[in-house]
Amino acid sequence: MGLELNKIHIPGIREKMPLVISGPCSAETEEQVMETARKLSACGVQVFRAGIWKPRTKPGGFEGNGEKALPWLKQVKKETGMLVTTEVATPAHVEAALRMEVDILWIGARTSANPFAIQDLADCLTGVEIPVFVKNPVSPDIELWVGALERFNRAGIRQLGAIHRGFSSADQKIYRNMPLWHIPIELHRRYPMLPILCDPSHMGGRPELIAPLSQQALDMGFDGLMIESHVCPTCAWSDAKQQITPEVLHEILDHLVLREAVESTEILEGLRKQIDEMDDQLMDLLSKRMYISRQIAQYKKEQNMRIVQSQRYAEILDKRAEQGSRCKMDPDFVRRTFEAIHEESVRQQTDIFKS
């Protein structure tokens, strides 16, 4: 099924500037909201975000200020002229947000994973003209994401957008949520008119990953970014590890390179991105392999065994070299690669023996 879409109307989008939605993970106090908003507005952010109802994985965390914080968003609009957006997860949230003239709604990853919750939200938005951004569900299931978009579209929401925030995986190393870029790329293939933003904050989970992920997303043709920003990231009541100050955001935005979509190199770019993603996966696998290797070292140390057991090493090399030639790779190349991996593995094991 296709999606019937109208252009999302966001006044003030700067020429050649992607849509930037930014603001704190949570609206904590009026002062924090206003101070952050003033600074973000000064760096050209078009839409201010702040979570008011926070879905927390575990109980006991800060679950948001609720309706009390809505007037702060209204004040942000009034004072800075930025549009405002917040996450809604229940019809009661939608009604409260609409009453307070929130301009854009977004659906969080935990909610878009639940078709019953999405249907309730879609039902209560029937006949309402408001842009809705749907974050990908926590699990890498494109149909669940598409299903959520379709439910809103069937309820008459025409100003729809998607936000790619990565997918959770049991054993993340580099990213808080795995990018799995092929999923939003497939979404774009199916619905070329659907704007897709990237949320590098929740994807990376660390400030230093925000710039490279943002650049990567723009290079891949994403339509904009949602980035968490807080006047004092380390004092944030939620997601303190990944937020950046408005000043740092300014720096990042200033350094983003906006590329022309040139027909002739698109294919090449797409292929290179696939290579980058595979390299990321390779790095992730290698680091997991080293982790197992360190566990082996711990065990060998306790059992008073030697680090290198040459028979096992020779077996690994032979097996992989032979497999390499079956997979159209030079067996020597495969041998050298595994020798290098083994060398690093032994180095790490030696460190454990020494400790």
Q: Which residues bind Mn ion (CB under 5 A)?
A: 25, 239
Q: How many CB atoms lie within 10 A of CB 84?
A: 26
Query: Kind and range of the H or E element at 226?
Result: strand 224-228
Q: How far is the CB of 265 from ligand PEP (least distance, A)?
A: 31
Residue 328, classed as helix, strand or coil, is coil
176 binds, among ligand PEP, Mn ion, none (CB under 5 to 8 A by kind): none
Distance CA 96, CA 99 (A): 5
Q: Considering the rule CB under 6 A, would residue 230 count as an interface residue with ligand PEP?
A: no
39 binds, among ligand PEP, Mn ion, none (CB under 5 to 8 A by kind): none
Q: Considering the rule CB under 6 A, would residue 250 count as an interface residue with ligand PEP?
A: no
C-alpha 72: how far from chain center? 26
Q: Considering the rule CB under 6 A, would residue 151 count as an interface residue with ligand PEP?
A: no
109 binds, among Mn ion, ligand PEP, none (CB under 5 to 8 A by kind): ligand PEP
Q: How far is the CB of 6 from ligand PEP (least distance, A)?
A: 25
Considering only 104-112, 139-147, 216-224, 285-293, which stretch makes contact with ligand PEP by CB under 6 A? Answer: 104-112
Q: How far is the CB of 51 from Mn ion (least distance, A)?
A: 6
Q: Considering the rule CB under 6 A, would residue 165 count as an interface residue with ligand PEP?
A: yes
Q: How many CB atoms lie within 10 A of CB 206?
A: 15
Name residues whose C-beta falls within 8 Å of residue 262's C-beta, 6 or more positions apart in sequence. none
Q: Considering the rule CB under 6 A, would residue 135 count as an interface residue with ligand PEP?
A: yes
Q: Considering the rule CB under 6 A, would residue 25 count as an interface residue with ligand PEP?
A: yes
**By beta-carbon distance, which residue lies closest to ligand PEP?**
108
**By beta-carbon distance, which residue lies closest to Mn ion?**
25
Q: How far is the CB of 171 from ligand PEP (least distance, A)?
A: 18
- Look up tokens 């020494």; give the residue: 354
Exposed e or buried b for every residue in 130-163, given b needs 16+ CB within 10 A? ebbbbbbbbebebebbbbbbbbbbebebebbbbb
Please name which of 26, 39, 40 lies closest in space to residue 69, comparing C-alpha atoms: 26
Q: How far is the CB of 201 from Mn ion (least distance, A)?
A: 7
Q: Considering the rule CB under 6 A, would residue 51 count as an interface residue with ligand PEP?
A: yes
Given a contact cutoff of 8 angstroms between Cβ atoms, the answer to whether 145 and 187 are in contact is yes
Distance CA 115, CA 97 (A): 21
Q: Which residues bind ligand PEP (CB under 6 A)?
A: 25, 51, 108-110, 135, 165, 202
